[in-house]
Structure 1
Amino acid sequence: MRPCPAFDIPPGYLARPAALADADAIQRLVAVCEHAAHGAAPAVPDGVAARLTLPGVDPARDTVLVSGPDGTCAAWAWVRGRRCAIDVHPGHRGRGLGTALLGWAQARAGLAGDDRLAQTVADGDRAAGALLRAAGWAPLVTEWLLEIALPVPGGVPEPPPGVTVRPFAAGDERAAHRLTEDAFDEWQQRRKPYDEWARHTVHRASFTPSASPLAFDGGQLVGVLLSLDVPASGEGYVERLAVRRDHRGRGLARLLLATAFRAFAGRGRRACTLGTHTDTGALSLYEHLGMTVRHSSTIYGTPLAAVPGAGPGGG
């Protein structure tokens, strides 16, 4: 097993691996960073915990938590499967932390045998984008967070003939996984194994079955919408939306979204959000349904030099 790569940080700062017990503190750091870039906190509150508990993640090797001179969380970095996340508190920027963590992330991914690395940066964070471009990273994909105010006028449309809709229930997990991954195969780089997919969706503390409608035709699952609830923000969030390819063009996406919007309005939420990006080609659909772009981000990527002896799972 290879040791985690070393890196230099400014005097007065301390670095160590993150742990699940740090998730809330790191989530607050992420919220501060996103508020500085977007004017709003993250769409969902448990993203850090989900990342730390993904199958295959070893926080001791795949994360760094940097504490400032006052002992508070100043920055963090996470790497897994060609993706990384790096956040530096606005009050600690300009001191080399971002550059140091970027170098660490690239070294860690290389040791794990990855041939490229990508991360998402808010378009409002111009400094982070400039840092990546200066380091040779290139923009790959644009992401958008869309929103709609609740309740939505017009209600829920009638299902197409033969289609029934009901909320997600225990036992639907595997079928929902297959359908969403089949649908996302058209643009994603790899299929997520069930355990990884579940950590992003149905195993999250914020997953909300009552606002996660499923569509069936003749007893077969043909449409899935999975939602997360964010009571502290007064919003709901659509984490996954997929319609089986041979049932597209029937209005099922609109039906599932309207059903979720109604469910969140019934829970007292003032808005619902969802994310999409360039490769899905779905932006115009959501805008046609009355959703508007709240903010955008860019996924940057870079190739990695081969590390002798490295391989999958190395570290």
Structure 2
Amino acid sequence: MKRLTVTVEEPACALVLAPVGIATPHDAVTALDVTGGRIERVLGEPELGLGAALLRPAGGPLVLDYAVAPAPAGQPYPEAAFRPRANRFTAAAAELADASRGIAARAGGGHVGIAALVAEAEARFDYAHPETRFNDGTDAVPYLSCGTTPGSCVDINTYLVASLRAAGYEAAYVYGHFFPADRGGVTHDMHCWVVTRHDGEVLEWDIAHHMKAGLGPTRAALDPRPGRRVALGHSMGQSYDDPRIPPMLKLLSEPLALHDGAVRRLSLSVRLADARAPGGAPAEGPLAGVR
């Protein structure tokens, strides 16, 4: 059992929205405990099968503790993560769709076509965190026809998932936190990756980590950089039935501050450690859903 602890490192606002967590073939988030506040509501995203906790801070540090258990044998990625959806964050513009189909076909289709689209997405970006994203203000994910564009893991994987789905492949956009081996189980922001499913084979792709670590052309691997990741959600374009939440969230990968119908990111410290009960024994208990 692991314990993923997210600490808000700034005075929290009146309301915070946080992901509840998911199960993947690697881990299952089985509970969420909150200190420094209370869970006011747990909201569902019916189309995606996701949950979000609406938190009301009570003053002092706001801390979220997720219980993370090994995944049961045979646990898949959530089926809804692979389901094509049409919104501005997921749908490929016509030029990107045409180009993606052509790239996959020229490569020979199948798994080779997937690898070709991964390589194409990698070739279109320089890893960066730009203030203006390549798809800001667009109605669909645009085609990047030449040169390179600055982009983070969010941007690169937005492009890759739209491209893969346009070419007829099953692809999922998964996010949570990655803990580099050299940081002692600590990170400060989210991370995302792509999962493909074709002919019964599930593969995980992390272009951003290959680029950042200088690992060469991207190959399928969960952790190409030494470390450990935990998924908390999937898919872009989420809707929760509460007037205090924007009608369409891009994604909910970490706690967000809510104010006047808008969201903003919070400064966070995130730690992953073994869950231990007093006396050094592994923690046990009824970990089923949000507590």
**Could you say which structure has the higher helix fraction?**
1
**Could you say which structure has the higher strand fraction?**
2
TM beyond 0.5: no
Q: TM-score scaled to structure 1, two decimals?
A: 0.27
If you compute each CA radius of gyration, which structure gives the higher value, 1 or 2? 1
Q: TM-score scaled to structure 2, two decimals?
A: 0.28
